Amino acid sequence: MLLIPCPNCGERDEIEFDYGGRAIQYPALNNSMSDWHMVLHQRDNSTETIEEFWYHQSGCECWFKVTRNLNTHEFES
């Protein structure tokens, strides 16, 4: 079970949330296709922490961004 820290409601069970995906930095629209390819298909998976979006569906109905350690699944912010 994963406890997710909602900024409005505190820690809640993961079943109350929808996962919104990784918070990645997209290139500008006029960047080359190779830049877009690198961001969309060749991301570095070696990082220990990632930023991701979560939606508190069964609570305050807010989207928020967190930093999570991929090895321990602990939320760092």
Which residues contribute to the site for Zn ion (CB under 5 A)? Answer: 6, 8-9, 56, 59-60
Least distance from C-beta 55 to Zn ion, angstroms? 9
- Of 8 and 67, nearer to Zn ion (C-beta) is 8
Closer to Zn ion by CB, 31 or 58: give it. 58
Hey, how many other C-beta atoms are within 10 angstroms of the C-beta on 68? 20
* Minimal distance, residue 24 CB to Zn ion, in Å: 23
Shortest reach from residue 16's CB to Zn ion, in Å: 8
Close Cβ partners of 4 (under 8 Å, ≥ 6 residues apart): 11, 12, 13, 14, 16, 17, 54, 66, 75
Residue closer to Zn ion (CB basis): 12 or 27: 12
